[in-house]
Amino acid sequence: MSRKILARSIVDVEEAPTPTRLGRFRVEVFGDEPHDYVRIYTLSARSDTMAAQEGLRLFVEDIERLLSEKG
């Protein structure tokens, strides 16, 4: 049975994207209980929205791995 993992993110622009180059973003993801963990990712993306989506995807992947290791 899979559990829904709820989380939110804050994105800081470290280097703004340009038409020819990806930007660099710091994405801090906060999980909601019972998965109240915090993860910070530095990601390259075309926009802050895409960075946030990738950060959330990575967070879910990390938490699912953590839960599977706990059993």
Distance CA 45, CA 34 (A): 29
Give me the pLDDT at residue 1, please: 43
Continuous H helices in 1-71: 48-70
Residue 49 counted as domain residue: yes
Residue 60 counted as domain residue: yes
Residue 1 counted as domain residue: no
Residue 43 pLDDT level (bands cut at 50, 70, 90)? very high
Number of domains in the chain: 1
Residue 42 counted as domain residue: yes
| 39 closest CA partner among 25, 22, 56 | 56
Residue 2 counted as domain residue: no
What are the helix and strand counts (H, E) for the chain? 1, 3
Distances (CA, A) of 59 to 16, 19, 39, 49: 23, 28, 7, 15
Lowest mean per-residue pLDDT among 2-11, 30-39, 45-54 = 2-11
Domain membership of residue 42 as a residue range: 7-70
Residue 30 counted as domain residue: yes
Residue 43 counted as domain residue: yes
